[in-house]
Chains A and B, each alone.
Chain A
Amino acid sequence: MKEISFIHAADLHLDSPFKGLAHTPNHIFQEIVESTFVSLDRLVAVAIQKEVDFVLIVGDLFDNEKQSLKAQIQLRKAFEELKRHNIEVYLSYGNHDFINGNLHPVTYPDNVHIFENVTVSHFTYKKRNEALANIYGFSYENRAVTDEKAKEFKVINHDIPFHIATLHGSIQSNTDHDVYAPFQLSELQKEPFDYWGLGHIHKREVLKENPFVVYPGNIQGRNRKETGQKGCYHVVLSETDSVLTFIPLNTITFQPVQVDLTNCENLHQAERLIQETINNDRQIAGKTLIDLSLTGDFVLKQWENAKQIEELIEIINQMISQDQQWKYIFHFTTNIKRKNLDAELKKGEHFIGEVIRQAEKMDLQKSIQDLYLHKQARRYLHSVSLEDQQVMKEEAKELLLNELLKG
C-alpha cells in the first residue's frame, strides 16, 4: 500500500523577538532568544525520529523586518541535518519572509525545494524512483498577496497517488489577521487534493477533515496571545486513511493565569494565593511565561496604584524563575470589581459626573501626542489602536475617579 508521511509546519518566525516582554532575568532572556531555534531543532529531531518522507514549511520561516543571519544559518544547518537523513524539504515563503525582502539569501542544500514565485507550481516527490506525491505551492514575492490563490491550485497528473497543497493565507472571513491569499473552505474541496497544508495563522486549527485542511500554528509562541502548546503536525497519508498527530515543539509556553484577590486583605495573602495558583495549575509545565490576570476590589486598585502589585510580582518571580523548569510572570493585568456607578454618577451635575461625561468625549490621541509624536520616541512606540485608546481612556478615568472619590 502506498503511503507517505511528512511533517507540516509553518510560521517558524525564527529569531523574531517576543512581544510584550519588558524585563526578564538574563538566563530566561537567553532561553527566549534561543527558543525558536530550539523548536526548529526539535522539529528536525521529530522528522528524523518519525522517519518522515519530507517536511513542509508553509511560509514565514523568518521575519524580513528583523531578519538575522543567525536565523538563516540555523535554518541551513537544520536542512543539512535533514539532508543527512534523506528527508526532503518543501518550503514556500510567506508575507513575513517574502522573497524580494530577503536580506541574506543563503543557499540551502539540494534537498530543499523552494516554491520560487507567486505562481502556483509543484514538485514531485519520488521515493525509490517512484513518483509518490505532487506538492503544490507558491511563495510571496512581495509583502502582500491579495489574489485568491486557492483557485489557482489544480491537480496535475492524476496518476500520482498523493497531492498536497500548501497555502500561506487566511480564510476570507477571518479579519483578526491581515488577510492574504484569501480563500473559502469550499474552494479547497473543488480539486481532489489529499491534504491542504496551510500557514499564516499562528493558532493551530484543523479547519476540516477529509481531506485535512490544517493550520499547524507556529512552533513557538512569541507573545501573550500565542498561548499553550505550539508545534507541528505529523501527517501519514495512505490510500485508505489519513492520520494527523500534533507534536509540540515549543520550548517556552505562554500561559495565562487568573487569580482572584478579592478576599485577600493584605499583600501576603495575595502573594500566597498567586503562588499556589501557579504551582497548582496543571497546564503550567515546563518553562512558562505567565500572563497574570488579577481580579479584586478597590484594595487591589490601591495596591496597584501604589505599585505594590509590581513589587509583589517581582518577589514571586524571584522565587519561581530560579528552577530548571522556570516560570516567569511577564505581564499582569488587574481587573477591579467595582460596582459600576458611572451611569448614575454621569447624571449628576457635580464634577464627577462631568469627568465621566468628558471622558467619553475626550480625544486621547491629542492628549498623548507629546510623547507619541515625540521625535525621539515615536519610532520606538507602537501605535495605539482604537481599542487600546478606549482601554487607556478608561484607565485614566478610573484613576481620576479613584483619586477624586477616595477622600
Chain B
Amino acid sequence: MKFTKAYIYGFGKWINFEISFSDGICIYGENESGKSTIYHFILFMLFGLPPKQREFYRPKSGGQIGGRLTIADEEVGIFTIERLDSLRNGAASCYTPDGMEYDEDWLKKRLKGTTLETYQSIFSFSAMDLNKITNMKESDLGEVLLGIGLTGSTEIHHLEKKLDNKLAELFKPYGKKPMINRQLDTLDKQFASLQGYKKNETTYREKKMNESQLEDRLCELKNELQEEKIKLLNIEKNIQALPLIGEYIRYQSNLEKYGQNLDFPEHGETRIENIKSNLLPLQSELAVLKGNAKKYQEKLERLQNKLANQKLYEAAQTLVKLKHEFLDNKKELERTENIIDSKKMEIEMELNRLNVDLHFEHLYKMNFPFHIEQTWLQIKRDEGNVALEKERIQAEVQQLKQERNYLYNQLEELEEQILPDEKVFELNEKINRFHKHHAVRNLQNEAAQKQQNWAKRREKKEKDMNVLFISCLVIGVIFSMIGLFTDIRILLDISFLLLLFGVGQWMWGRKSLKEMEIVIQSDFESDTFHTLSKDDLQDAEIQISDHHKRVSEMENIKEQLKSNDMKRLNFRDKMKVVEDRYANIQQQIKEQYQFYPFLKHIDISYWPELFHALKQLVSQFKEYMKVLEDKEILLEKVIRFQSEVNEFVKEQNWETGDLIEQQLKAIESFIRKQQEISQQIEQYTDLLKENSKEQDELLLRIGTYESEIRNLLELAQVESEESFYQKANQVNEIKQNEEALDNTYAQLERLFPNSQWKSFVEKAQSESELEWMRNDTANTIEDLQQKIAKTQKELVTIQAQLETMESSEEYSNNLHQFEMEQEQLNKLAREWAIIKTAKELLSETKRTYKEKHLYQVMEATSYYFSRLTGYKYKSVYAPMDHRSFQVEANNGLRYEVNELSKGTIDQLYVSLRLAIGKTMSESNHLPFILDDAFLHFDSLRIKQVINLLEEISKTYQVILFTCRKEITLDMDQMETISLKATAFK
C-alpha cells in the first residue's frame, strides 16, 4: 500500500492543500511548518478521529475539517478515502476509480485491522518515542524496547500494570485488605454463625422428640394417677363392702359345692313316695315267695348234695351186679386150691420115692427135650467103653514103663560090669550078682503083680465101703426126718445107729486097706538090695568071659529100649485119644450136670431109668401147674372185685369194716338211700317251679312301679334313691342359697354398680391386706403427683425452648444475609476473574507474539543495526529472562543495552523499529512514517540512516518528516518536499 496523494480540505493550518507522495519522500519543514499536521491528517484519513480531537484540527479560519487521501493498494488498486468532519461524524467514504463508494468498514478491511495504535506503534515513530526511552529505568530498557516494538507504544506495559493494580485491589491470595479477602472474612464469620444457628435448629428435632416423650410420659403418669385413684377408691369401697362380700363368697362357694348337676323333677319327693306305697306290699309278697323259694332251694341243694354223683351211684350199682359172679369165683377158687394141694402131695411123694437130689422147686425149671433120653443112653454106653479102654492102655503103659526101667537098670549094670579089664574079677562077681539080681527081679515082679492085684481089690473094697456108708447115711437121714415129722423116737435112734454103723465100717475099711498096702510095699522093699553070694566069685571068670556077652547084651538091651520107647510113644498117643474121648464124655456129663444138677448124685448107668421116672413126674407137674394157673386167674378175679369194692368203700369213707360182705351190704344200702333222695328232689323241683311262676307275676307288677321310679331318678340324674333324696335336699339348699346370694348381690350392686365388686370377690382379700394396699396406693399417688409436677416443669421448659426456636428467625435471616454476601463475593470474584483473565490473556499474547516475531525481528534488527553502526556491530540478541538486549560487536564482544552510549541506543531503537515495521509489513504493506526520528543523530549517523531508508523505500514507501536541512541534503534517491512555514501565514 502506498499513499499517492493527499488533498486537505481543512485540517489544522492546512486548507485546500494538496500533496503527492512518491515511494520514498522526505518532507522538510521547519518547526511549526505543519509537518506534524500532515502526519496527523494522514492518520485521520486512515483511522478517523474522535469529535473532540477533530475539533482540535479545525482550521482557525473556519471551514470544514476533512480531506482526501488517495492510496494505491496491491489488491484493489487505487482508491480514495474521504472524510468530512460534518459528514457522518467523520466517517470515511472510499471511492474506487470504477465509481464505487465504500464505507469505513471497507476501509478497515483494506487496512487489515491495523488500528491507529498499531500503525503508530509499528509504522510510525518520532523523536518523542525515543525520548520515552530515556524516561525508563535503565534496567527496564530491554522490556520497554520489546514492548514498544510489539505494540508500537508503551501502552501494553501500562495496561499490565493497571490490571495488576486492579487485581491487587480486588484479591490477594494471602491478603487481608483487598475487597474479596474482606468479603471472604465476612462470609467466614457469617458462615460460622450460620452453622451455629443451624446446629441450634437441628436440636429442634431432638427437643421435639424430647417434648413428645415428655408429653407421653405425662400422659402416662396422669393415666397411672387416675388408675391409682380409682384403685384407692375401689380399695376403700372394698373395705366397706368386706362383710357383704364375705357373705357373697360363702353363698357362692356353697352353690359351687353343689356343682352344676342340679336337674330334679317337679315334686320329685311326693311322687316317689306315692309309687313306693303301692310298691311295698308287692315287694313283701315277693319277699315271702323268695323266702320259700330259698328254702326249697336250700332243701334241694341239701338233697342234691346228699345225692352222690351219678358216677358213684353207677359204680355202686355195677359192684352190686358183680356180687354173684364174685361168689361163684370164690367157691371155684376153694375147689382149685384143694386140687393143687393133692397134686403137690403126689408129686412130692414121687420125688421122695425117687430120692434124688431133686426137689419140688426144681420141677419148675425141669425140661426134657425129646432127645435127652437118647443122649443119656449114649453117655452111659460111651462112658463104660472109654473107662475100659483107658484101663487097658494104662496097664500097657505101666508094663512098658517097667520094661524100660528094667532095661535101663540092666544097661547100667552092664555098663558097670563092662568096666576096665583090671576089674574083670569084679565083673565076674557082678555077673554073679547079676544072677542073683535076676532072681530078685522075679520076686519083685511077683510083688508087683501082687501089688497090682491089691490095688484092684482095694478099689473094689473102697467102692463097697462108700456105697454102704452112703446108704446108711441116706437111710439114717430119712429115718431121722420121719422121726422128726412123726415124733417116733425109735426111728431117730435107728437112724443114729445106722449112721454110726456106716461111719464105723467106712473108718475100719480104710484102716485095714492102709495096713495091707504097707505090708505089700514093705515086702517088696526088703527084697531089693540082696548082697551077692559067693557064687559070684566062682562065676567071675565066667563073668569075665561073659564080659563080651554082656556088651552084646547091652546092645541088645539098647535095642529093646528103643522098641520100648516106640511102644510107649504109641501107647501114649492111644492114651491121649482115649483121654480126649473121656474128656469129651466128661464134658457131656458136665453139661448134663449143668442142666440137671440132680444127676450129679446119680450114677450114669441109672440115668435112662431116671429119665422115665422124671418124665412122668414132669407131666404130673405140668398138670399141677395148669391147675395153679386156673387158681391164679380166679384169685385175681376175686381179689380184683374185692379191691374194687374195698376201694369204692374206702373212697366213700364208710366205716363198714374190712369184710367184703359188709362192704357190699353198705353199698346196697347206699343205693337204696340214693333212690329215696332222688324222689325228694323231684318233689322240691316242682315246688320251686311253681314258686318262680308266682314270683314272675309279682315282678312284672313291681317292674312297672320301678320303672316309674327309675324315670324319676333319671330326671334327677342320680343313681340311687338315696342320692335322689340327697339331691332333693341339695335342691332345697341351693334354692335357699340362691335367694340369699341374690339378696347379697342386690346389696352389692347397690354399693358398686356394674358388677365392679366382682373383682373384689375374685381377689378376696383380707381387711389388713386391703388396709395395707390403701396405704401403698396412697403413697403411689403421692409419688405420681410429684413425678407429674416434675415432668410438667420439664415439659414447660422444653416447650418454652421450642417456642423460642420456632419464633426465632435468626437462622432464616442469617441465611438470607449470607446468601447476599455470597452473591456479593461472586460478583467481585467475577470482576476479578475478568480482569485476571484479561491480564493472563495479555501476557499470553505477548509471549506468543514474541515467540512468533522475535526471530524475524531480531534478524532484521541485527541487519539494520549493523548498517546503522557502520558494521561496528554484527548482531543483536533478544532479551532473555532477566537479561535485556545484547549486542555483539565485530570483535565478538557482547554488550548489555545499558552499557551502550545514548546514540547507539537510539540506533538500536531505530533498527528495532525498522525491523518490526519490515516484519509487520510483509503481510501488511503500510508505509513507514518517521517524524523527526533522528533528532539526536550526528551527521554520520544520519547519513547511514538515510542510506538505509533509501534502501527500504525500494520495497516500502517511506515518508520522512524532518526539520533538519542536512537530512534532505543527504538524500540521493528520495524525493524531498519542502514546506514553507510561511506559506499559510
- Point out the residues of chain B lying under 8 angstroms from A33, CB to CB: 809, 812-813, 816
Asked whether, in the complex, the Cβ of A69 is within 8 Å of the Cβ of B806, the reply is yes
A400 interface hit (Cβ, 8 Å): yes
B122 interface hit (Cβ, 8 Å): yes
Interface centre among B150, B809, B816, by most chain A C-beta atoms within 10 angstroms, is B816
Asked whether, in the complex, the Cβ of B824 is within 8 Å of the Cβ of A29, the reply is no
B62 interface hit (Cβ, 8 Å): no
A17 interface hit (Cβ, 8 Å): yes
Asked whether, in the complex, the Cβ of B837 is within 8 Å of the Cβ of A22, the reply is no
- Point out the residues of chain B lying under 8 angstroms from A29, CB to CB: 816-817, 820
B844 interface hit (Cβ, 8 Å): yes
Asked whether, in the complex, the Cβ of A355 is within 8 Å of the Cβ of B819, the reply is no
Asked whether, in the complex, the Cβ of B849 is within 8 Å of the Cβ of A24, the reply is no
Asked whether, in the complex, the Cβ of A400 is within 8 Å of the Cβ of B820, the reply is no
Asked whether, in the complex, the Cβ of B848 is within 8 Å of the Cβ of A354, the reply is yes
B351 interface hit (Cβ, 8 Å): no
Asked whether, in the complex, the Cβ of B833 is within 8 Å of the Cβ of A400, the reply is no
Asked whether, in the complex, the Cβ of B823 is within 8 Å of the Cβ of A21, the reply is yes
A353 interface hit (Cβ, 8 Å): yes
Please, how many angstroms separate the alpha-carbon atoms of A329 and B156 in the complex? 36
Could you mark each residue 800-826 of chain B with 1 if its beta carbon is under 8 Å from any beta carbon of chain A, else 0?
A: 000001111101110111111011111
- Name the contact of A351 in the complex, choosing from B118, B809, B817 (C-beta under 8 A): B118
Please, how many angstroms separate the alpha-carbon atoms of A149 and B150 in the complex? 64
Asked whether, in the complex, the Cβ of B115 is within 8 Å of the Cβ of A381, the reply is no
- Point out the residues of chain A lying under 8 angstroms from B844, CB to CB: 358, 362
A32 interface hit (Cβ, 8 Å): yes
- Point out the residues of chain A lying under 8 angstroms from B807, CB to CB: 73
Interface class of chain B by DSSP: helix
Asked whether, in the complex, the Cβ of B117 is within 8 Å of the Cβ of A405, the reply is yes
Could you mark each residue 2-45 of chain A with 1 if its beta carbon is under 8 Å from any beta carbon of chain B, else 0?
A: 00000000000001011111111000010011000000000000
Asked whether, in the complex, the Cβ of A22 is within 8 Å of the Cβ of B115, the reply is no
Please, how many angstroms separate the alpha-carbon atoms of A374 and B841 in the complex? 21
Please, how many angstroms separate the alpha-carbon atoms of A105 and B236 in the complex? 48
- Name the contact of A380 in the complex, choosing from B155, B184, B836, B848 (C-beta under 8 A): B184
Could you mark each residue 368-392 of chain A with 1 if its beta carbon is under 8 Å from any beta carbon of chain B, else 0?
A: 1011101011001110100000001
B44 interface hit (Cβ, 8 Å): no
**Closest-CB distance, A317 to chain B (whole angstroms):** 15
Interface size for B (C-beta < 8 A) is 75
- Name the contact of A397 in the complex, choosing from B113, B808, B830, B841 (C-beta under 8 A): B841
Considering the complex, which residues of chain B in the window 862-917 have a beta carbon less than 8 Å from any beta carbon of chain A? none
Asked whether, in the complex, the Cβ of B151 is within 8 Å of the Cβ of A17, the reply is no
Asked whether, in the complex, the Cβ of A381 is within 8 Å of the Cβ of B815, the reply is no
Considering the complex, which residues of chain B in the window 911-946 have a beta carbon less than 8 Å from any beta carbon of chain A? 920, 922-924
A348 interface hit (Cβ, 8 Å): yes
Residue of B nearest to A358 (CB): B845
- Point out the residues of chain A lying under 8 angstroms from B852, CB to CB: 354
Residue of A nearest to B147 (CB): A351
Binds B, one of A108-116, A133-141, A151-159, A338-346: A338-346
- Name the contact of B115 in the complex, choosing from A104, A395, A400, A405 (C-beta under 8 A): A405
Asked whether, in the complex, the Cβ of A403 is within 8 Å of the Cβ of B162, the reply is yes
Please, how many angstroms separate the alpha-carbon atoms of A265 and B204 in the complex? 59
- Point out the residues of chain B lying under 8 angstroms from A351, CB to CB: 118, 121, 150-151, 156, 845-846, 849
A179 interface hit (Cβ, 8 Å): no
Asked whether, in the complex, the Cβ of A362 is within 8 Å of the Cβ of B840, the reply is yes
- Name the contact of B835 in the complex, choosing from A347, A353, A399 (C-beta under 8 A): A399
Please, how many angstroms separate the alpha-carbon atoms of A347 and B923 in the complex? 10
Given contacts A32-B816, A70-B811, contact A355 B841 (CB under 8 A): yes
- Point out the residues of chain B lying under 8 angstroms from A106, CB to CB: 208
- Point out the residues of chain B lying under 8 angstroms from A20, CB to CB: 823
Given contacts A33-B816, A351-B151, contact A346 B113 (CB under 8 A): yes
Please, how many angstroms separate the alpha-carbon atoms of A351 and B836 in the complex? 19
- Point out the residues of chain A lying under 8 angstroms from B809, CB to CB: 33, 68, 70
A396 interface hit (Cβ, 8 Å): yes
Please, how many angstroms separate the alpha-carbon atoms of A381 and B823 in the complex? 8
Interface centre among A339, A348, A377, A395, by most chain B C-beta atoms within 10 angstroms, is A377
Asked whether, in the complex, the Cβ of B113 is within 8 Å of the Cβ of A368, the reply is no
**Closest-CB distance, B233 to chain A (whole angstroms):** 35
- Name the contact of A19 in the complex, choosing from B117, B184, B823, B825 (C-beta under 8 A): B823
Could you mark each residue 195-233 of chain B with 1 if its beta carbon is under 8 Å from any beta carbon of chain A, else 0?
A: 000000110110010000000000000000000000000
**Closest-CB distance, B719 to chain A (whole angstroms):** 66
Binds A, one of B104-112, B638-646, B667-675: B104-112
- Point out the residues of chain A lying under 8 angstroms from B121, CB to CB: 351
Asked whether, in the complex, the Cβ of B108 is within 8 Å of the Cβ of A69, the reply is no
Please, how many angstroms separate the alpha-carbon atoms of A66 and B822 in the complex? 14
Could you mark each residue 959-980 of chain B with 1 if its beta carbon is under 8 Å from any beta carbon of chain A, else 0?
A: 0000000000000000000000
Asked whether, in the complex, the Cβ of A370 is within 8 Å of the Cβ of B173, the reply is yes
Given contacts A351-B150, A404-B151, contact A362 B829 (CB under 8 A): no
Interface class of chain A by DSSP: helix
Asked whether, in the complex, the Cβ of B117 is within 8 Å of the Cβ of A372, the reply is no
Asked whether, in the complex, the Cβ of B118 is within 8 Å of the Cβ of A350, the reply is yes
Asked whether, in the complex, the Cβ of A69 is within 8 Å of the Cβ of B837, the reply is no
A367 interface hit (Cβ, 8 Å): yes
A323 interface hit (Cβ, 8 Å): no
Please, how many angstroms separate the alpha-carbon atoms of A165 and B179 in the complex? 52
Asked whether, in the complex, the Cβ of B113 is within 8 Å of the Cβ of A350, the reply is yes
Residue of A nearest to B104 (CB): A339
Given contacts A23-B824, A348-B118, A358-B844, contact A393 B829 (CB under 8 A): no
Residue of A nearest to B185 (CB): A376
Asked whether, in the complex, the Cβ of B849 is within 8 Å of the Cβ of A354, the reply is yes
- Point out the residues of chain A lying under 8 angstroms from B116, CB to CB: 407
Please, how many angstroms separate the alpha-carbon atoms of A24 and B824 in the complex? 11
Asked whether, in the complex, the Cβ of B820 is within 8 Å of the Cβ of A384, the reply is no
Residue of A nearest to B838 (CB): A396
- Name the contact of A370 in the complex, choosing from B188, B824, B834, B836 (C-beta under 8 A): B836
B153 interface hit (Cβ, 8 Å): yes
A316 interface hit (Cβ, 8 Å): no
Asked whether, in the complex, the Cβ of A15 is within 8 Å of the Cβ of B815, the reply is yes
- Point out the residues of chain A lying under 8 angstroms from B151, CB to CB: 351, 404
A130 interface hit (Cβ, 8 Å): no
A247 interface hit (Cβ, 8 Å): no
Please, how many angstroms separate the alpha-carbon atoms of A33 and B818 in the complex? 12
**Closest-CB distance, B54 to chain A (whole angstroms):** 16
Asked whether, in the complex, the Cβ of A22 is within 8 Å of the Cβ of B830, the reply is no
- Point out the residues of chain A lying under 8 angstroms from B956, CB to CB: none
Given contacts A18-B819, A69-B806, A400-B159, contact A392 B837 (CB under 8 A): yes
Asked whether, in the complex, the Cβ of A376 is within 8 Å of the Cβ of B820, the reply is no
Residue of B nearest to A71 (CB): B812
B114 interface hit (Cβ, 8 Å): yes
Given contacts A18-B819, A344-B109, 20 further A-B contacts (CB under 8 A): A17-B818, A22-B824, A66-B815, A103-B202, A103-B205, A347-B113, A349-B924, A354-B849, A354-B852, A362-B841, A364-B833, A368-B832, A368-B837, A376-B188, A382-B826, A392-B833, A392-B837, A396-B837, A404-B151, A404-B156
25 contacts between A and B (CB under 8 A): A17-B816, A18-B819, A19-B823, A22-B824, A33-B812, A70-B809, A105-B208, A344-B112, A346-B113, A349-B922, A351-B118, A351-B845, A351-B846, A352-B118, A358-B848, A367-B837, A377-B180, A377-B825, A380-B825, A381-B825, A384-B833, A396-B838, A403-B159, A403-B162, A407-B117
Ordered nearest first, which 9 A-B pairs have the shortest CB separation? Answer: A17-B819, A348-B113, A396-B837, A367-B840, A345-B113, A396-B838, A22-B824, A350-B118, A70-B812
